[in-house]
Structure 1
Amino acid sequence: MKHLFTLLSLLAIQGLYAQQNISSFFSGTWKVEGKELYEHWDRLSDDHLKGFSYGFSEGKGISTIEYIDLKATNGKLIFEANVIGQNDGKAIQFEGSSGKDYYIFLNPEHDFPKKILYKKFSEDTMHVAIGAGGKEYTFNMIRQVTTGNPTSTAIVDTTYDEALAQKLNADERGMKSYFFVVLKTGTNQTKDKNLINESFTGHMANINRLVNEDKLIVAGPFGKNQDNYRGLFIFHNVANESELAIILKTDPAIKNSLLDFKIYPWCGSAALPMYLPFSKKISR
C-alpha cells in the first residue's frame, strides 16, 4: 500500500476546509518534494471532493495510481481510496479528526497506513506523516500551478465566462458531477437472432432518445477485452443512481439481459455536453 498515503493525506487537508465551508484553496495539483509523484483533486461541493494521484516513470510516461472520494457527512469526515491493482478493486475507508493546525485520518484495521497526519507549513507547502506499527514515512508536498502539464509552472491566462459557467452548472473549478456507466455482457446467452437484433436495434434507438432528452451525453463501445466490457455511457441531469437504474432498464438490450451495467459517480468538465452539437455535424 506504499502509494496510498500520498493522495489520502493531501485530500485529508482539503477535507478540513470542506467541513468549514471555506475557499477551495487546496484544489488543484500538488507534488511530492523530490519525487515525480503528484495529486490532483477537484471540489464537487462544500463537503464533497474527488481526486486522483499519478506519477511519471521513464519510458512509460504518466500512470494513475489511485482514485479517491471524500465527504463530510453527519459531523464526520470520511474518505474512500481505491488503489489501482490492490485490495481486489475495493475502496479503503478512513475517518478523520482535527486539532489546531493538524488533521488525522485513522483506520486501525488497515495494514498500512493506519494513521495519516498532515500539518500545514505555509500557503504552498504541507508536511505529511504516514504511520503504522512503529513505522513512519514523512515528506513535504509543494503546490503546483499548471497549464494542463503537471510539470509546468506557467500560470494559465483564461477569460472566465460567468454566464456560461452558470448555464453549465459548473463549480468554481469548471467541473460538475456525472454518472459513468460501464456496460458489460449480460446473463442471457440466447442464440435467438431475432431477439438479439430487435434488442440492439432498440438499444440504439434508446440512446438517441436519451440524448434528445438531454440526459445521455457520451456513448460508445469498447474494443475486445477480457472483462467482457461492452461500452460506456456518461449521464447528467439525473437525480441519483436509483433514477438512473430505472432509465437504463428502458434499454431493450438491458431489459432482456443481453447487457448488464455498473454505475459510478464521476466528476468531469462541465463543458463536456457542449461537444454534442458538433458531433452531429461530422457524422454522415
Structure 2
Amino acid sequence: MKKSILIIAIVVFGSCQNKSDKQFEKLEKMNWLIGQWENTTPEGYLTETWSKANDSTFSGQAYFIIKEKDTVHNETIILTQVNEELIYRPTVKGQNNDEPVDFKLTSDTENRFSFENPKHDYPQKIVYKKVNDKSLIATISGVQQGKSSSESYPMNKK
C-alpha cells in the first residue's frame, strides 16, 4: 500500500512539474528578443530594449529619433502570456489617449511571430522576425487612410 501511494505521489508531482515548465511556453519562444536592438538610418536612430519582467511578461521600450524633424517616437511595450494567449501591448505616447492597445498572437513559427488587432486604426499587424541571433526585422502593416501600408525596421543586437 505504501509503495502504491509513493508511486502515485511521484506521478502526480512529475505531471505538475511538466505542466509548470510549459506554463509560459509561447512567451519563452521569444526569449531571443531579450536585449537591446538598434538601427541607424539617414532618417534617424531606432532602439528597442527588452527585458524579462517575470515568468509571464517581457517589458519593452522603443525610441525613434527622427533627425530632420527632431521628433522622438516613444513607446512602452508589454509582451505577456495570459493563459494560452500571447499579447503584444504597446502604449505610444501621444496616441490612443496614452492607453495601451492589445495585439494578439495570430501565428508563430520558430523565428516569426505575428500579432494582430484588426480594429486598430494603424497598424493592424505587427511582426517580429528573427533573422539570426544578432539581427531581427520588425514590420508594422495594415490599412492607413484607405491604402495598404507596410513599414519594416531591421535591427541589430547591441
Q: What TM-score do the two structures reach when normalised by structure 2?
A: 0.68
Q: Where is the strand percentage greater, Structure 1 or Structure 2?
A: 2
Aligned residue for 1:70?
79
Aligned residue for 1:19?
26
Pairwise CA distance, 1:45: 1.9
1:117 aligned residue (113, 124, 127): 127
Aligned residue for 1:30?
37
Pairwise CA distance, 1:41: 1.8
Answer whether contact 1:33 1:139 (CA < 8 A) is retained: no
Question: Which structure 1 residue ranges, 5 or more long, are not aligned?
Answer: 1-16, 145-284
Note the 1:11-160 alignment, pairs <5 A: 19=26, 21=28, 24-32=31-39, 34=41, 35-56=44-65, 63=72, 65-96=74-105, 97-133=107-143, 134-144=148-158
Answer whether contact 2:75 2:90 (CA < 8 A) is retained: yes
Name the CA distance, whole Å, in 1 between partners of 2:127 and 2:31.
Answer: 20
Pairwise CA distance, 1:132: 0.6
In structure 2, the CA distance between the partners of 1:19 and 1:132, relative to structure 1 (3 Å rule), is same
Name the CA distance, whole Å, in 2 between partners of 1:40 and 1:52.
Answer: 5
Helix, strand or coil: the match of 1:85? coil
Answer whether contact 1:18 1:47 (CA < 8 A) is retained: no
Answer whether contact 2:27 2:81 (CA < 8 A) is retained: no
In structure 2, the CA distance between the partners of 1:142 and 1:19, relative to structure 1 (3 Å rule), is same
Q: Count how many residue pairs are aligned between Structure 1 and Structure 2.
A: 128
Task: Report the identity percentage.
Answer: 27
Pairwise CA distance, 1:60: 10
In structure 2, the CA distance between the partners of 1:47 and 1:106, relative to structure 1 (3 Å rule), is same
Helix, strand or coil: the match of 1:19? helix
Note the aligned Cα RMSD (angstroms).
Answer: 2.8
In structure 2, the CA distance between the partners of 1:109 and 1:22, relative to structure 1 (3 Å rule), is closer
Pairwise CA distance, 1:18: 6.2
Name the CA distance, whole Å, in 2 between partners of 1:116 and 1:23.
Answer: 14
Helix, strand or coil: the match of 2:97? helix
Name the CA distance, whole Å, in 1 between partners of 2:27 and 2:97.
Answer: 34
Paired amino acid for 2:157: R
Name the CA distance, whole Å, in 1 between partners of 2:58 and 2:119.
Answer: 24
Structure having the higher Rg: 1
Question: Which structure 2 residue ranges, 5 or more long, are not aligned?
Answer: 1-23
Helix, strand or coil: the match of 1:32? strand
Answer whether contact 2:108 2:114 (CA < 8 A) is retained: yes
Answer whether contact 1:69 1:81 (CA < 8 A) is retained: yes
Paired amino acid for 2:47: Y
Note the 1:101-250 alignment, pairs <5 A: 101-133=111-143, 134-144=148-158
Name the CA distance, whole Å, in 2 between partners of 1:128 and 1:33.
Answer: 14
Pairwise CA distance, 1:99: 2.7
